[in-house]
Amino acid sequence: MKASASLHFKTYLLILLMVIFGPLGNVLLGKGMKRIGAASVGTPAQALDLLSRVLASGTIWLGIGSLITFFVAYMLVLSWADYSYVQPASSVAYAMVALLAHFMLREAVTPLRWMGVLVICLGVLVVGHTPPRTTEPT
């Protein structure tokens, strides 16, 4: 019983980290890439030029740092929890992305899109009440 409670605690804690740093990373990447402009990767020279501009952007590096934090939390939680549990649970991240895009990047989020975000969160609530592990530890 105690082991199960602690399993749930560390699962939720790491999912919380994922839900904060994943969306933050995506929004920072979006901000950085918008500033760089439409990608044209027709030739290797163009691709290299784009890559060098990407790597010169501080915003993008911040985004990459956030995503690495997200990724480490994700890896750790996947060492014991089911992928099909973690992936839907982490979809709270979609609400975070909409909020951050709206408030940090001033993106126009339509009412229908907010509704979609709410439905996603509802789906997450349904998913959140299933057990974190269905396969036997090996």
Partner 1 sequence: MRELIFYLLIIGAGTGGELCVSRAMKAVGEVKDFRPAALIRVAARALQVPWMWLGLTLMGTAFFALLAVLTMENVSLVVPVTALSYAAGALGGKFFLGEQVTRRRWAGVLLVCVGVALVIMGRR
Binding site for partner 1 (CB under 8 A): 23, 26-27, 29-31, 33-34, 36-39, 41, 54, 67, 72, 75-76, 78-80, 82-85, 87-88, 91, 93-94, 97-98, 100-102, 105, 107-130, 134-135, 137-138
List Cα–Cα distances, 51 to 28, 36, 56, 117, in angstroms: 17, 10, 9, 32
Cβ proximity to partner 1: between 1 and 138 the closer is: 138
Cβ proximity to partner 1: between 4 and 134 the closer is: 134
List Cα–Cα distances, 105 to 50, 92, 115, 133, 136, in angstroms: 22, 19, 20, 38, 44
Output the smallest distance, CB 100 to partner 1, in A. Answer: 8
Cβ proximity to partner 1: between 12 and 91 the closer is: 91
Closest CA to 104 of 26, 22, 11: 26
List Cα–Cα distances, 113 to 35, 106, 107, in angstroms: 24, 15, 12
Output the smallest distance, CB 29 to partner 1, in A. Answer: 6
Cα 3 from Cα 22, distance rounded (Å): 28
Output the smallest distance, CB 98 to partner 1, in A. Answer: 5
Output the smallest distance, CB 55 to partner 1, in A. Answer: 11
